A = this chain, B = another copy of it.
């Protein structure tokens, strides 16, 4: 590991988007103050986890009142936006890539997908949700010119490492990797691996357990 001790735990970070969405919705609905109990109830969690997370995030509440919804929202927003920009390129405009390009809900999380890249000449030149799709060979030039530092990688397994290399060469420093491959990158590059199969594995194992219990119960 490249060092750099974690300021807050990964579980807390994972919960940020969930908090964000709830707070935004509640503020919209006119709830200017909100308690940990209310948040926990809405999100199916324990109030104490909310309070611990918020303390960690630097959100300060008031006894008897709770938290200022807007302030909490802004703090979480700033934690997810504090870099100069979160402009990103998406590499690999297949089904998943298109889905990510079309997904509204990353924008308010600080991600600004400005273009897609692919090798498939059928798709190069098209626009998806207003974002132009360029040939992969254009990546270095455009990344450098636009100073884009973040890339989303959703190419097939076989192409992943080559694409990652190209991205790194182009100056990309953060890769959100959807290919089931452990990418080899320089130390300064941050990689976040996303493995859709993980969630599926959990569902299946849970179902197996639940079924086994069911059998025991009816025996």
Binding site for B on A (CB under 8 A): 2, 4, 6-8, 10, 13-14, 16-18, 21, 42-44, 79-83, 86, 94-96, 98-103, 105-106, 109-111, 149-150, 173-174, 176, 180, 182, 188, 190, 192-211, 213-214
Contacts and interface: CB of A to CB of B under 8 A. Distances in A.
A19 B98 CA distance: 28
A40 to B, nearest CB: 11
B99 A4 contact: no
A188 B198 CA distance: 22
B204 A80 contact: yes
State the number of copies, please.
2
A7 B205 CA distance: 10
A4 B210 contact: yes
Q: Which of A2, A42, A94, A182: most chain B CB closer than 10 A? A: A182
Given A14-B198, A17-B197, A182-B43, A83 B204 contact: yes
Given A100-B196, A106-B197, A174-B206, 16 more contacts: A2-B210, A6-B209, A10-B202, A14-B202, A16-B201, A16-B205, A21-B180, A79-B205, A80-B205, A86-B204, A94-B102, A150-B207, A173-B207, A190-B206, A192-B200, A192-B202
5 cross-chain pairs, A with B, having the tightest CB-CB distances, nearest first: A17-B197, A95-B99, A192-B203, A96-B99, A99-B99
Contact of A180 (B2, B10, B105, B150): B105
Given A207-B173, A210-B4, A210-B173, A111 B200 contact: yes
Nearest to A181: B21
Contacts of A10: 202
